[in-house]
Amino acid sequence: MRIFVMGMFVLPLVACLDGAGAPPESQRRAEVAAQSLPATGGRFVGRYVVPAPADLADAAVFAVSEVRWRIANGVVTLHYDLPVGLVGGDISVTLTGTLSPGATTVQLSGNVGTGWCSAQSTVVTCGETLDNLSNLPVNQAVVEQAAAEYPGPLANRLAVASLFSSDPIGSVEFDLTTPSSGGGRH
């Protein structure tokens, strides 16, 4: 059995092996086949992940209380607030793109950057390169206060915020089976 880690979930995959010890071609295609993005929207609980070295990986995951995924007339809008503990203030991200029926990826853009989204099972992942943000962190004291709520070393959370301020890239992920109760800041 192989284990795949996708977003917030660990997915076991039981492989039927052919005589050579490799999965049959049809299964290899199925493993890498992309899934269509959801064509309906909603508000979901999510998380924001900053690319970080392995020793900071746990500190690089931030809860996002609400991610909005809206589809209207073939246009998808992704909206959420960056975690206060990452940026030290209120910064909203809104990216849009054209979603073709059955599309497995969508390119997004907006005033704060660009991104792309794809889906695996019920999880949508949107990788982003952000720019046109205010000077980060907006307020270092807010970052430090929020970092104190992190169960790991305070220094690790602060290091992730520093990484993000110098190179604001990351991904927001949300599970279509976990609706939000409307706890977004904006």
Q: What residue ranges define each of the domains in the chain, with the CATH number in brackets?
A: 2-32 (no CATH), 42-179 (2.40.128)
Burial code of 62-88, b = ≥16 C-beta within 10 A, e = fewer?
bebbbbbbeeeeeebbbbbbbbbbbbb
Proportion of the chain above pLDDT 70, given as a percent: 79
C-alpha–C-alpha distance, residues 51 and 123, integer Å: 18
Cβ(175)–Cβ(125) below 8 Å: no
The whole-model pTM stands at: 0.79
C-alpha–C-alpha distance, residues 46 and 179, integer Å: 9
pLDDT at 120 > cutoff 80: yes
Minimal CA–CA distance to 91: which of 51, 133, 49, 62?
Answer: 133
Cβ(182)–Cβ(130) below 8 Å: no
pLDDT at 133 > cutoff 80: yes
**Stretch 180-185: mean pLDDT, rounded?**
66
For the chain, the average pLDDT equals 83
Paired residues of 42 in beta bridges: 69
The torsion of the CA quartet 156, 179, 115, 34, rounded to 10 degrees, works out to: 110
In this predicted structure, what is the pLDDT of residue 96?
A: 98
| Across 25-29, 34-38, 42-46, 79-83, least confident range | 25-29
Minimal CA–CA distance to 93: which of 118, 76, 68, 71?
Answer: 68
In this predicted structure, what is the pLDDT of residue 7?
A: 43
In this predicted structure, what is the pLDDT of residue 85?
A: 94
In this predicted structure, what is the pLDDT of residue 17?
A: 37
